[in-house]
């Protein structure tokens, strides 16, 4: 899991530990994560990792340590960053890094309840029911809806002209 020292990520760690699950948790500060979990939390099944996600070497080291400790991931949960609606080949490395940097500035500014979000994510993982990609919170839903509507408007506006750029049909 990424982004685990506060908010939704912290609640995910808490709930997974309470369930008896194990996992690696990346954060900007492992000390802050462990302090937030408190002395009462059983962290014996937790691998807290201080990782700067903009540093590829640190990310690779975190993956290596996770595999060493747990034998490999069953589930990967990215909580560091925000929605970035684009085709996978479109954004450049800088775009993705900027998105992650911006997320750090937005931390704890959303109206959602992290505990409810954590529970929804865990339930999806345990039951396999529901959408693979969860939209959590009314603000996220409104933003995603607006993005989809804007994309649909672009598609509708170019429906007649898009075929004019095709290669000629061959018979």
Which pLDDT score, from 0 to 100, does residue 101 have? 62
At residue 119, the pLDDT reads 84
- What is the domain partition of the chain in residue ranges? 7-161
Q: How far apart are CA 12 and CA 134, in angstroms?
A: 14
pLDDT of residue 100 exceeding 70, the answer is no
Mean pLDDT lowest among 3-12, 106-115, 134-143: 106-115
- Of the CA atoms within 13 Å of residue 121, those in its CB half-sphere come to 25
Please say if the pLDDT value at position 112 is more than 80. Answer: no
pLDDT, mean of residues 86-91? 75
For the segment 43-56, the average pLDDT, to the nearest whole number, is 91
Which is higher by pLDDT, 105 or 83?
A: 83
Class of domain 7-161: alpha beta
Per-residue burial over 18-56, b = 16 or more CB atoms within 10 Å of its CB, e = otherwise: eeebebbbbbbebebbbebbeeeeeeeebbbbebebeee
Q: How far is CA 76 from CA 8, 98, 148, 151, in A?
A: 15, 21, 25, 28
91, pLDDT greater than 80? no
């Amino acid at each position: 899991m990424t982004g685990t020292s506060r908010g939704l990520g912290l609640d995910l760690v808490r709930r997974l530990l309470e369930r008896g699950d194990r996992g690696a948790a990346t954060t900007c500060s492992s000390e802050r994560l462990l302090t937030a979990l408190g002395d009462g939390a059983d962290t014996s099944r937790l691998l807290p990792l201080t990782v700067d996600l903009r540093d590829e070497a640190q990310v690779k080291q975190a993956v290596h340590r996770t595999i060493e400790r747990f034998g490999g991931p069953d589930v990967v949960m990215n909580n560091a960053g925000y929605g970035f609606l684009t085709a996978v080949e479109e954004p450049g490395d800088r775009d993705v890094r900027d998105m992650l940097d911006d997320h750090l500035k937005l931390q704890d500014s959303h109206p959602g309840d992290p505990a409810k979000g954590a529970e929804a994510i865990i339930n999806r993982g345990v039951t396999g029911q529901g959408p693979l990609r969860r939209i959590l919170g009314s603000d996220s839903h409104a933003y995603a809806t607006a993005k989809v509507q804007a994309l649909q408007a672009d598609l509708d506006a170019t429906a007649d002209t898009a075929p004019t750029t095709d290669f000629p049909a061959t018979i």
